Structure 1
Amino acid sequence: MSVSVRFRVWVEVGGVHLIGPGGYDILKAIDETGSISGAARRLGMSYRFVWNYIDKMEKTSGMKLVEAWKGGRGRGGAKLTPEGKMLLQYYEEIMREMNEVANKWSKYLDSKLVINKGINRRQE
């Protein structure tokens, strides 16, 4: 049985949640689909939920993260602003670095701990 180090990462501004896995997924889906409704469909969320989530992120950050435009059926769209793309990239970099640390510790602990019938023994 192997040992795994797990973690959850989110970014706060003044103690208020800005972005975590859900916000990352929303921004990434908007970037890939080119629309809020497309992102909502892809993620199995309502348009209203995604719109409100974006609004909360923008109010918390004080930055415009998504530019949306209306155009009638099939003509509307959305894209990330440069600040939205930057936030997405920063979160990806944080996750990359955290995964490296978690993998390092998982391997280390896996080599030092013997898990046998619920009893942990340290290897000398």
Structure 2
Amino acid sequence: MIDMSVSVRFRVWVEVGGRHVIGPGGYEILKAVDEVGSISGAARKLSMSYRFIWNYIDRMEKTLGIKLVDAWKGGRGRGGAKLTPEGQALLQYYEEILKEMNEIANKWTQQLTERLKNMGEEGQ
């Protein structure tokens, strides 16, 4: 018998004016900055370069025309970063989109599993 484990999968990203703003990678970056409180700490946590994360955030901000991260310099151990209220909101919106999409994917996974099982029984 064929393995009938069904999975409905998806990948979500948000575009503004046809330009990528946030997807799984951007979400992870903002989430890490929020949790760790610095861009360098987020870079270490995600095994990415500081420059990559800084450029990614900069590109998001320029596309939206909104400041997402407040960063400050302060020498060794004194610098930091935190999400602006807009950055927090973007993170929350993305999480809400994922939650709904996961619910839909789970619904379709269950429905397709049942339908394929029934098709298999009919064919025997």
Q: TM-score range by the shorter chain?
A: over 0.9
TM-score by length of 1: 0.92
- Offset of 1:30 from its aligned partner? 0.2
Identity of aligned residues (%): 77
- Offset of 1:102 from its aligned partner? 0.1
TM-score by length of 2: 0.92
Do structure 1's residue 63 and structure 2's residue 27 form an aligned pair? no
- Offset of 1:122 from its aligned partner? 5.8
Select which of 51, 57, 75 maps to 2:54: 51
Tell me the secondary structure at the aligned position of residue 15 of structure 2. Answer: strand
Contact 1:35 1:79 survives alignment (8 Å): yes
Ranges in structure 1 where 5+ consecutive residues have no aligned partner: 115-120
Runs of 4+ in 1 over 3 A off after TM superposition: 121-124
Contact 1:112 1:123 survives alignment (8 Å): no
**Structure showing the higher strand proportion among its residues:** 1
Query: What is the alpha-carbon distance in structure 2 between the residues aligned to residue 112 and residue 87 of structure 1?
Result: 37
- Offset of 1:2 from its aligned partner? 1.1
Query: What is the alpha-carbon distance in structure 2 between the residues aligned to residue 68 and residue 5 of structure 1?
Result: 39
Query: What is the alpha-carbon distance in structure 2 between the residues aligned to residue 123 and residue 108 of structure 1?
Result: 15
Q: Name the CA shift for 1:7/1:123 in 2 (closer, same or farther; >3 Å).
A: farther
Q: Name the CA shift for 1:7/1:68 in 2 (closer, same or farther; >3 Å).
A: same
- Offset of 1:47 from its aligned partner? 0.2
Q: Name the CA shift for 1:61/1:67 in 2 (closer, same or farther; >3 Å).
A: same
Select which of 79, 84, 102 maps to 1:76: 79
Tell me the secondary structure at the aligned position of residue 78 of structure 2. Answer: coil
Q: Name the CA shift for 1:122/1:62 in 2 (closer, same or farther; >3 Å).
A: farther
Which residue is equivalent to 2:19? Answer: 16
Contact 1:40 1:50 survives alignment (8 Å): yes
